[in-house]
Amino acid sequence: MKLSQLLSIGFLILVSTTMSPAFARDANKTQYPIVFAHGMAGFDDILGYDYWGDDYGVYVLDTCQWGEYYCNPDIHSGQESFVASVTPFAGSEQRGYELYQDIEGYLASSGHSYVNIIGHSQGGLDLRKAAKLLQDNRGYRVVKYGISISSPHRGSPIAQYVLNLQPGVQSVLATLADYFGNTIYSGGNDAIAALKQLVNHDFDPNDGVTTGTYAFNQNYPAGTANIERSRSFLTGQDNGNMNPALYLLKELWTEIDGDGYASYDANGDGALGTGDGDASDNDDDGLVGINSQQMGYRLEYWECYGCLDYVWAQSNTGYVGDLNAPNQTQMTSHAWKINQDHLDVIGVPPDTFDEMEFYAAITDFIADNGF
């Protein structure tokens, strides 16, 4: 081979590695550990199957050691993380307090002073209470990034639907849910309290307990007082690719129309806003409408084939600080929505979503922003 050819090849290699920094590289290590907060019915792991896992239950931030196969090859080998475990079926007042206790225990044992929190579904509400309690207890803002994924910040119509079922049916479902929760976690599960948390209004004003996302948002806002940066991923998917259980829920019982604007629960479905008249336009993920999901700035996820995936914060739809008063664009825009259902993002099969790369990209995003 001629010298000129060798030099040309060397130049191409140099250009590809310097101009495409994400190509064939691991995610950068975050400065502060990542804490995962699971949603309703969630857990840390059951017999080795992780809630925060891929389709095979392999933990998404499991660092790869020499010779290890079941791990995430896209993350830094020194990445630190912690999976919290709270009562699967309970209101976010209780779950948020338990999350706070878990994080305080982790900080004490690890020696860290700050964390980033990623919450899925109800975990996105829980993290806001935990952040406030951490701030109150320590006297400084402990949570750097608070990132919610598919979270019903302004309510879920599915919660309202179940609460409106006949008492006998509702009782059976609640008993089964409580049994499951008590088996995988401990006692104290209350599925009805959990559902009341996830409707926008106070479902029963006469029960002596103020519930619902509206009151919770007033007490635990998304501003910078307790969380340095609040961000959110929105999910929504059509019927064709939806998890079979969620597809049957839509087809046989109730379907969410989740991208209409109103300053209150105008159609009485349990979520702030209303519908636009078309319930089949990818405006929900099977459990939560897109009008409930934005907290802070939206995050965009871009899949890169042959390189590390990307996450960006997008400001075009604006910042939702007052979770009870998003504007029309923030409740109706499908911009930067991930085309996945509520369960795909935590590895519940069947799906074609790459959970390992998704969470590696989030890790890299947090690290690149200094946290």
Share in percent of the chain as helix, strand, coil (round to 5): 35, 15, 50
pLDDT of residue 166: 73
pLDDT of residue 42: 82
pLDDT of residue 239: 66
pLDDT of residue 177: 67
Q: For the chain, give every domain's residue range.
A: 29-368
* Cα distance between residue 192 and residue 162, in whole Å: 9
* Cα distance between residue 287 and residue 250, in whole Å: 9
pLDDT of residue 240: 66
With tokens 């750097």, the residue in question is: 144
pLDDT by 10-residue block (mean), the chain, 371 residues: 47 40 71 97 80 93 88 94 94 97 98 98 98 97 98 96 81 70 75 93 90 96 94 87 86 88 93 89 93 98 93 96 97 95 92 94 98 97
* Cα distance between residue 65 and residue 121, in whole Å: 31
Task: Single out the residue of 335, 122, 352 nearest to residue 236, CA to CA.
Answer: 335
pLDDT of residue 114: 98
pLDDT of residue 20: 39
pTM here? 0.90
pLDDT of residue 249: 87
* Cα distance between residue 134 and residue 137, in whole Å: 5
Q: Which residues of 282-320 are buried (b: 16+ CB within 10 A; e: fewer)?
A: bbbbbbbbbbbbbbbbbbbbeeeeeebbebebeeebbbb
* Cα distance between residue 264 and residue 274, in whole Å: 8
Q: Which residues of 327-353 are buried (b: 16+ CB within 10 A; e: fewer)?
A: eeebbbbeebbbebbbbbbbbbeebeb
Eight-state DSSP code of residue 278 = -
pLDDT of residue 21: 39
pLDDT of residue 218: 96
* Cα distance between residue 250 and residue 283, in whole Å: 12
Q: How far is CA 90 from CA 108, 118, 129, in A?
A: 26, 19, 14
pLDDT of residue 223: 85
Q: Tell which CATH classification among 3.30.1490.20, 3.40.50.1580, 3.40.50.1820, 3.40.50.300 matches the domain 29-368.
A: 3.40.50.1820
Q: Which phi and psi angles does 277 have, rounded to 5°? A: 95, -5
